[in-house]
Amino acid sequence: MINLPTSDPCDRYSAVVTARPSVGEGRQLGALGPLPPTALACVRDDRAKLFVTSSLLRFRRDRRELFDQGGYLPLDAQGTARDHLFAFARTLADRHVLVVVPRLVATLVSDVDVPPLGERVWGDTELLLPETLTVPDAYRNVLTDRPVATRSTPHRPATIRAADVFEHVPIAILSAEAR
């Protein structure tokens, strides 16, 4: 089977012929819980893509009302890499989920083989959380099952550091729900 990355419209990668993991393997991966963070960082690993897709579809299915009927709230960012973030919240009553992804990655990191992860890439960049959200002390990253701390100070909106959001995986769904 031909392996073409789904996130590369510029066609910078060569096609690689490999055997793809089966749907059953993806279900097994998702049933085992989060993969090790290092496994998820490799965007060329089809198992990681399958795990992310199946995990997020399962998460959405379990919160169908939030995703079907919830509102869309764009989130702002601040810091040197703010233009490289796309983030929004899905909200319904007192529930919400944050969706955070990098954008314009080719101008953010110079090497296409290096994922946009951690402090080195994101530095001082933060997401600003609106006062309309009930912000927990930490969100749970759905893919890694790790907490992502929020920071709040008087007279400023709560924030989340992009370096913490993208510590291990270059995509994040952050749940305010307790596990």
* Residue for token pair 């290092």: 38
Give the residue among 76, 59, 73, 51 at the shortest CA–CA distance from 177.
59
Give the side-chain half-sphere CA count within 13 A for 131: 5
**Structure confidence by residue, pLDDT tens digits, 11-20:** 555 555 455 5
pLDDT confidence of residue 114: 79
Q: pLDDT band for position 164 (50/70/90)?
A: very high
pLDDT confidence of residue 3: 47
Q: What pTM did the predictor assign?
A: 0.76
Give the residue among 23, 14, 31 at the shortest CA–CA distance from 49.
23
Give the domains, in start order, of the chain with CATH numbers: 2-60 (no CATH), 71-175 (2.60.40.1180)
**Structure confidence by residue, pLDDT tens digits, 97-108:** 999 999 998 888
CA distance 171 to 117: 10
Neighbours of 54 (CB within 10 A): 18
- Report yes or no: 125 and 162 within 8 Å, Cβ to Cβ: yes
Give the residue among 52, 8, 35, 9 at the shortest CA–CA distance from 171.
52
